């Protein structure tokens, strides 16, 4: 047996409290408010089965072969259409297709985060994103937010990256308003700081309206991260990054060192899915489903939660962010909630510094409306009991 | 526009001369001895089309959803069967499925390579592998080899990893003999150094015989890297690492930070492919095809190459490694060869220190036997002209 002697960067890894919760909750019939898994019921599985079979029969030799590190051109062309929905005039020669936007985040961090660099993130922010910056030995500082999203803070240390999810934020659910977007970009331009705009939920506004991406007006300032996980299928693990033009070659090279090329076959499948107009119809239907589920969740919160519990308005995305009375610890509530068949993610998972003890995230994307109504009632009951102890 | 100011680790990236060659060679009708792309003609595309369609129709909700970071259990079970062919009694609970074995290499490097650490590799070795260690700021030292493969060297600097491709090496084509395997493992046990056993070609011995993996007798000393790219389909980008048991959890966590989970749908597809006995028949046929192609290449070399050119014996894998007379530079020959429609990889691509100037790698995996015969004749002619200058 060898001695365990990990690389020093391992010390800066960010232990995921989300993972811990998922492990506890792997029981049948659990009502899960924990994950960010999309509802896939509206996908046209027959269409996808036929498209897959056709790709393998008609162009199997190409689909199962190596392809280029930047991603297959036909998918990058389709991506420009998707990006145009949020005001971006993208060019297919600068997008880099990645194994989920998660890996895109790794590529950016690998090239721009030196050990000790500060990466600014929203407060709270996506646990899996902050884990990436920590893996590259960056120091994540979560800056003050109000209900409007990120308020950039001047910092003493070197800072090259701001990480933001401006549209239907994870976990906060907030939509960054226009004046904050303007202010954020002004500050980042002034201080020569890049913005990572992580936008998996941008097309999931309940009213069907889209919001102009930060990238649209600042193409050379923003690493735009797109994902097919929330609007199509996370099991394909495909996303992309549209970087400032001068960094395309570097990101392609890093993508190649990481995975040689993104998977060919499923890139062609996504391209086929986007070629058919059905995807926008399916997306429209998903938006309605999520809107209804969010409505049921908020109604149930209103009906069952005791005084002193507050939550954000939800206009899109997957999450409701709850603030409990200060004397209640949302992490301590996890075990009793799971005992009664309901799981959520305690707020501490979304901070790097131990904050969030009386906050929690509830996702409404996957459970049924019946489960949502039942689960909120159970949680309210657990909260009352914890509160009384 | 922001200032380019990359992270310091970018300075240690390894510029790929292979990539440069590929860019030059992207012309129609080129006879390519350059790539490591497998011949896919023997795949049963109808079977794969049907299997894909069935997965999406019958279990589409699971196939297109997130799954676990370690990889789906049904694929890991199938992998244990594949590993048993080379003498390994693997357990499905310790393999970690990755986006190609390329990403497995990244996971190991991320956790075990500190800046300045020495990673020992064969001389010559796989360019894409050495690029990974460099990306994590390791210093690759390529140690002396004879025709037998790796001869480990004691080094002054801290060294935790030896990277080896013992079976049908890339690019050397060599099969490490038993006594060298024993010696290598003894030295690594004594010095408490881990071995990364990269084994994409192990099942591609022309005679159908397999060789006992280093992992088989040293499960806690070896990170075993397996790949479906050479024995099935590189376009799926699926491979795995079977690490020492104590490092499974760390690699799973790192896999999650990188890509959340390996793609679900295509993992199920590979599992379906391996469930059917047809894959071993297809592999047997591929072995015969590669054996025939290698034979044609070696015969053509014997017929056309001038005196002073030597090459390794080839008993499996994809490559013939050529040594030219010392006054001929294989890199200088690339452009005239491409002008005449033939491309290969110059030897310098497989060294980190500028060696390999009069060596080159020729792959016989993808071109037809006719192309191989023609291409070798052309190359011999180019060589004679360069030699005369």
If asked whether residues A258 and A286 sit together in one domain, one would say: no
Max intra-chain CA distance, chain B: 65
pLDDT of amino acid A3: 54
Angle (CA) A49-A55-A57 rounded to 5° is 100
Out of A178-187, A287-296, B21-30, B275-284, give the one with best mean pLDDT: A287-296
Together in a domain, A115 and A21:
no
Q: B150 and B164 in contact (C-beta within 8 Å)? A: yes
Which secondary structure element, helix H or strand E, spans residue A384, and what is its range?
helix A369-388
Q: Are A65 and B40 in contact (CB < 8 Å)? A: yes
DSSP string, A248-273: HHHHHHHHHHHHSS--HHHHHHHHHH
Count structural domains, chain A.
2
- Provide the CATH number for the domain around residue B257: 3.40.640.10
The predicted model gives B131-159 an average pLDDT of 74
Tell me the shortest Cα–Cα distance from B373 to chain A, in angstroms.
23
How confident is the model over B152-166, as a mean pLDDT? Answer: 78
End-to-end CA distance of chain B: 48
Tell me, yes or no, whether B2 lies in a domain. no
pLDDT, block means (10 residues), chain A with 389 residues: 73 71 76 94 95 98 97 97 95 95 98 94 95 95 64 64 96 92 90 95 96 97 98 98 96 97 98 93 95 98 97 95 95 93 95 94 97 98 92
Contacts of A299 (CB under 8 A, 6+ apart): none
Average pLDDT of B76-93?
95
CA distance A60 to chain B (A): 6
Chain B hits for A57, CB-CB cut-off 8 Å, are 45-46, 49
- Contact list, A250 vs chain B (CB under 8 Å): 6, 10
Residue B3 counted as domain residue: no
Rounded to a whole number of angstroms, the distance from the CA of A307 to the nearest CA of chain B is 36
Cα(A268)–Cα(A9) distance, rounded to whole angstroms?
36
Q: What is the DSSP letter of B284?
A: H
Name which of B365, B373, B362 is nearest B296 in CA terms: B373
Residue of A1, A7, A126 to mutate, testing the B interface (most B Cβ within 10 Å of its Cβ): A7
Listed residues A276, A300, A328: the one ending a domain: A276
Q: Rounded to an integer, what distance in angstroms lies between the CA atom of residue B329 and that of residue A214? A: 51
Same domain, B113 and B239: yes
Contacts of A384 (CB under 8 A, 6+ apart): A306
- Residue A4 domain-assigned (yes or no): no
Residue B276: predicted pLDDT: 85
Segment B182-205 mean pLDDT:
94
Q: The domain spanning residue A311 has which CATH number?
A: 3.90.1150.10
Q: Where are the alpha helices (DSSP H) in chain B?
A: 17-24, 45-63, 73-84, 100-112, 127-135, 178-190, 214-217, 248-259, 264-275, 278-304, 334-339, 369-388
- The pLDDT, as a whole number, for residue B147 is 43
Using the 3D structure, point to which of B251, B275, B299 is the last residue of a domain: B275
The pLDDT score that the predictor gives to residue A17 is 62
Candidates A374, A380, A386, A384; CA nearest to A31 is A374
- Domain for residue B380, yes or no? yes
CB contacts of B102 in chain A (<8 Å) are 257-260
Set of chain B residues whose Cβ sits within 8 Å of the Cβ of A229: 66
Handedness of CA A336, A337, A338, A344 (dihedral sign): negative
Which of A67, A257, A260, A363 to mutate to test binding with chain B, by most B CBs within 10 Å of its CB?
A257
Distance from the A363 Cα atom to the nearest Cα atom in chain B, whole angstroms:
15
Of A68, A128, A73, nearest in space to A260 by CA? A68
Q: Are residues A216 and A234 in the same domain?
A: yes
Would the pLDDT of B2 be above 70? no
Question: Residue B234 pLDDT > 70, yes or no?
Answer: yes
Q: Which of A1, A35, A63 sits opposite B220 (nearest CB)?
A: A1
Does residue B267 share a domain with residue B166? yes
Per-residue confidence (pLDDT) for residue A276, from 0 to 100 = 85
Q: Has residue B150 got a pLDDT over 90?
A: no
Q: Is the CB of A234 less than 8 angstroms away from the CB of B65? A: yes
- What does the alpha-carbon distance between residue A90 and residue A77 come to, in Å, rounded to a whole number? 9
* Pair A383, A239 in one domain: no
Residue where a domain terminates, one of A224, A255, A276: A276
Task: Tell me the shortest Cα–Cα distance from A118 to chain B, in angstroms.
Answer: 12
Cα radius of gyration rounded to whole Å, chain A: 21
Instruction: Please report the pLDDT score of residue A32 as a whole number.
Output: 94
Domain holding B328, by residue range, is 14-36+280-388
Q: Do both A255 and A268 map to the same domain? A: yes
The verdict on B238 and B290 lying in the same domain is no
The mean per-residue pLDDT over the stretch B329-349 comes to 94
**A107 & A234 share domain:** yes
The rounded mean pLDDT for chain B is 92
Of A46, A128, A192, Cβ closest to residue B260? A128
**Predicted pLDDT of residue B175:** 94
| Same structural domain, A295 and A267 | no
Residue numbers in A near B12 (CB within 8 A): none
Mean pLDDT of B284-311: 97
pLDDT digits (tens, 9 = 90+) for A68-98: 999 999 999 999 999 999 999 988 899 999 9
Residue B170 has pLDDT above 60, yes or no: yes
Neighbours of B308 (CB within 10 A): 14
C-alpha distance from A55 to closest chain B C-alpha (Å) = 8
Residues of A in contact with B247 (CB under 8 A): 4
Q: Are residues B28 and B133 in the same domain?
A: no
Query: For A362-380, what is each residue's pLDDT tens digit?
Result: 999 999 999 999 999 999 9
pLDDT at B91: 87
Residues B25 and B161 in one domain: no
CB contact under 8 A, B257 and A1: no
Query: Are the Cβ atoms of B100 and A260 closer than 8 angstroms?
Result: yes
Find which of A8, A21, A64 to mutate to test the B interface (most B CBs within 10 Å of its CB).
A64
CB A79 within 8 A of CB A273: no
């Amino acid at each position: 047996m060898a001695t365990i002697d990990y690389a020093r960067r391992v010390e800066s890894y960010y232990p995921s409290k989300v993972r811990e919760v998922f492990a506890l909750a792997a029981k049948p019939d659990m009502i899960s408010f924990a994950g960010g898994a999309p509802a896939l019921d509206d996908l046209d599985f027959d269409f996808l089965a036929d498209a897959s079979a056709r790709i393998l029969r008609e162009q199997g030799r190409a689909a199962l072969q190596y392809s280029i590190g930047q991603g297959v051109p036909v998918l990058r062309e389709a991506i420009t259409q998707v990006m145009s929905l949020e005001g971006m005039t993208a060019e297919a020669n600068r997008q880099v297709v990645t194994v989920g936007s998660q890996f895109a985040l790794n590529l950016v961090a690998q090239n721009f985060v030196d050990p000790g660099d500060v990466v600014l993130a929203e407060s709270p922010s996506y646990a899996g994103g902050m884990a990436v910056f920590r893996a590259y030995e960056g120091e994540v500082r979560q800056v003050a937010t109000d209900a409007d999203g990120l308020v950039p803070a001047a910092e003493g240390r070197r800072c090259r990256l701001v990480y933001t999810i401006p549209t239907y934020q994870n976990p906060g659910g907030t939509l960054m308003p226009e004046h904050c977007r303007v202010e954020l970009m002004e500050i980042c331009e002034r201080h020569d700081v890049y913005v990572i705009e992580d936008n998996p939920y941008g097309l999931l506004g309940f009213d069907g309206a889209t919001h102009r991406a930060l990238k649209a007006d600042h193409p050379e300032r923003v690493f735009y991260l797109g994902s097919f996980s929330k609007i199509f299928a996370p099991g394909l693990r495909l996303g992309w990054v549209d970087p400032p033009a001068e960094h395309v070659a570097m990101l392609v090279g890093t993508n190649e060192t990481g995975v040689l090329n993104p998977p060919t076959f499923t890139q062609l499948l996504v391209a086929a899915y986007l070629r058919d107009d059905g995807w926008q119809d399916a997306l429209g239907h998903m938006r309605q489903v999520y809107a209804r589920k969010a409505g049921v969740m908020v109604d149930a919160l209103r009906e069952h939660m005791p005084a002193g519990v507050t939550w954000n308005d939800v206009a899109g995305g997957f999450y409701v962010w709850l603030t409990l009375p200060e004397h209640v610890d949302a992490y301590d509530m996890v075990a009793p909630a799971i005992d009664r068949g309901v799981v959520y993610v305690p707020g501490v998972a979304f901070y790097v510094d131990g904050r969030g003890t009386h906050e929690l995230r509830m996702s409404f994307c996957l459970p049924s409306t019946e489960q949502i109504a039942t689960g909120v009632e159970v949680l309210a009951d657990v909260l009352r009991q914890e509160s009384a102890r």
